[in-house]
Amino acid sequence: AQSVTQLDSQVPVFEEAPVELRCNYSSSVSVYLFWYVQYPNQGLQLLLKYLSGSTLVKSINGFEAEFNKSQTSFHLRKPSVHISDTAEYFCAVSEAWKAGGTSYGKLTFGQGTILTVHP
Amino acid sequence: NAGVTQTPKFRILKIGQSMTLQCTQDMNHNYMYWYRQDPGMGLKLIYYSVGAGITDKGEVPNGYNVSRSTTEDFPLRLELAAPSQTSVYFCASSDTPGTPNTEAFFGQGTRLTVV
């Protein structure tokens, strides 16, 4: 069964420090991988995604994530965080498969990691 | 392009009352989802739909019902509100999972309090 595990529920860091938010997934088929961000009192919005090609993907605000198929991981990193990065981050996996000629699909989210950046 | 629109944004219900959370999307997505989010618990899938007329239960369906009569709309019904249903509810839509355009788009949420 498909599952997504975010290994840290909370990550406190100081401003300008590097950060890594960890995400592991289990799936028996090819997957697409996503990181979403939720700022306080807002809905979720896409941060970055891996569909195919280069295993390193980047967002416009300095985050990057690397797809590691052998370790089934998709960790999110930023070399220097800002106060404004304080938010909850969700890893998600999308997979599709066929059975008996019928296509199925599923989108699964991790439990979230609260990143708190302190001055 | 409105994306995913949820109404209402806030609601207070008394125990035993019923209500419908509305969700509509204008992206012609096949898949739609309802999640609830409780502090420290992440997102829990309540129900999802893979197309008009087709719905299925998620992790926490008890106390809720859904329908999908059109591609655009996916309302969530609470029949007998209970304090345990106090939560923030998010509706989302996506193209078919496993296809390149499978990014999920979320509404702004409905904050529901049952007293």
Which residues, 6+ apart, have CB-to-CB distance to A7 below 8 Å? A22, A23, A24
Q: Are A91 and A100 in contact (CB under 8 A)?
A: no
A48 CB within 8 Å of a chain B CB: no
Q: How confident is the model at residue A1 (pLDDT cuts 50, 70, 90)?
A: low
pLDDT for the residue B85? 97
Listed as ranges, residues in chain B with pLDDT below 70 are 1
Which chain B residue has the Cα nearest residue A109?
A: B43
A19 CB within 8 Å of a chain B CB: no
Which chain B residue has the Cα nearest residue A49?
A: B103
pLDDT for the residue B35? 94
Q: Which amino acid is at A53?
A: G
Q: Running DSSP on this structure, what letter comes out for residue B20? A: E
- The larger pLDDT score, comparing residue A99 to residue A110, is at A110
- Kindly report the backbone phi and psi dihedral angles of residue B37, in degrees, each rounded to the nearest multiple of 5, phi listed first: -130, 120
CB burial of residue B2 (10 Å; 0-12, 13-18, 19+): exposed
Mean pLDDT value across residues A7-13 = 95
Mind listing the pLDDT tens digit for each residue in A36-74? 999 988 889 999 999 888 889 999 889 999 999 899 999
pLDDT for the residue B74? 98
Mapping DSSP to helix (H, G, I), strand (E, B) and coil, where does residue A84 land? helix
Of A36, A42, A105, the CB nearest to B98: A105
pLDDT over 70, % of chain A: 96
A3 CB within 8 Å of a chain B CB: no
Q: What is the mean pLDDT of chain A?
A: 90
| Cβ neighbours of B10 (radius 10 Å) | 9
pLDDT for the residue B1? 63
Compute the distance between CA of residue A15 and CA of residue A84 in angstroms, rounded to an integer.
10
Q: Are A34 and B43 in contact (CB under 8 A)?
A: no
A107 CB within 8 Å of a chain B CB: yes
pLDDT for the residue A99? 76
Mapping DSSP to helix (H, G, I), strand (E, B) and coil, where does residue B32 land? strand
pLDDT for the residue A65? 97
Contact: A111, B99; criterion CB under 8 Å: no
Contact: B98, A32; criterion CB under 8 Å: yes
Which residues is A31 bridged to in the sheet? A95
